Amino acid sequence: MKTITIIISALFLVIINSSFILVKTGLEIVREAEKVDNGWGSSSNTLTMTLTSRNGQKTTRKMHGYTMEVEGDGDMSMTIFDTPRDVKGTASMTYTHKIGDDDQWLYLPAIKRVKRISSSNKSGPFMGSEFAFEDLSSQEVEKYTYKFILEENINGQDSYKIERYPISKNSGYKRNIVWLNKANYRVEKIEYYDRKDTLLKTLSLSNYKLYLSKHWRANTLKMVNYQNGKETLLVFSERKFGVNLKKADFSQNALRRAR
């Protein structure tokens, strides 16, 4: 009987140890997601932004943009508003960094001036939308610490549920909860919690398409703000990769000339 007990105990320890080996850390998961998506180079797109007020009133804006991958650092991106008339020509530019706060600028055609967005204002709304300026930056792995929660099915997809904590003191969030598709590391959903750790808003990503036989991109993003009752919907179209871009295309002079 004692021998059987020893064998059962040994098997139990093997099972427990195997479980620990199989469970990935949050950092390992996001590192794998980063590795899978590296190498896309450059892209362009057009997009429609629809703002919905608490009472259901809708405002639509048309935009186009460019993004370039930067080796050893975060992405560079630019977005230009095409319509309506009151925002036409307004343009934003972001340099995302792996370490430290991102650099962001906004060109305002009415005053023909480039305005730098200070780090303390990163949590502010982008052009009246439910997306904050910090939401527009590429989500570099180094900008957070991570905690794996569990594996969970969401939107019919088996996913990793991960908690991440912004390192920057200027972030408007205490934490985010992110669901990453296990099969291809696509982001299915993100919950954003404010500095008081109250649920602020949720981003749902859908209408994914595969580009360059490797890179998944969501063409529909819906941000719902639970504290003010507003929503912002982004619908991407005409995505193109391999666009001829260089760093000089993301200068303040280029931002002023953006059309």
pLDDT of residue 14: 42
DSSP 8-state symbol, 129: S
- pLDDT tens for 6-65 read 444 444 444 444 444 456 899 999 999 999 999 999 999 999 999 999 999 999 999 999
Distance, in Å, from the CA atom of 163 to the CA atom of 149, rounded to the nearest integer, reads 7
With H, G, I as helix, E, B as strand and everything else as coil, classify residue 251: coil
Distance, in Å, from the CA atom of 84 to the CA atom of 25, rounded to the nearest integer, reads 46
With H, G, I as helix, E, B as strand and everything else as coil, classify residue 4: helix
Distance, in Å, from the CA atom of 116 to the CA atom of 119, rounded to the nearest integer, reads 9
Distance, in Å, from the CA atom of 41 to the CA atom of 187, rounded to the nearest integer, reads 20
**Terminal-to-terminal C-alpha distance of the chain:** 82
State the pTM of this model. Answer: 0.89
- pLDDT tens for 122-147 read 999 999 999 999 998 899 999 999 99
What Rg do the C-alpha atoms of the chain give, in angstroms? 21
> Which position has the token pair 């594996």?
151
pLDDT of residue 23: 64
Distance, in Å, from the CA atom of 84 to the CA atom of 61, rounded to the nearest integer, reads 6
Closest CA relative to residue 68, chosen from 190, 251, 253: 251
Distances (CA, A) of 31 to 27, 38, 68, 255: 6, 11, 20, 32
> Which helix or strand (DSSP H or E) is residue 7 part of?
helix 2-22
Distance, in Å, from the CA atom of 30 to the CA atom of 6, rounded to the nearest integer, reads 39
pLDDT of residue 10: 45
Q: Can you state the percent helix, strand and coil of the chain, rounding each to 5?
A: 20, 45, 35
Pick the CATH number of 25-257 from 2.30.40.10, 3.40.50.410, 3.40.50.300, 2.50.20.10: 2.50.20.10
Close Cβ partners of 15 (under 8 Å, ≥ 6 residues apart): none
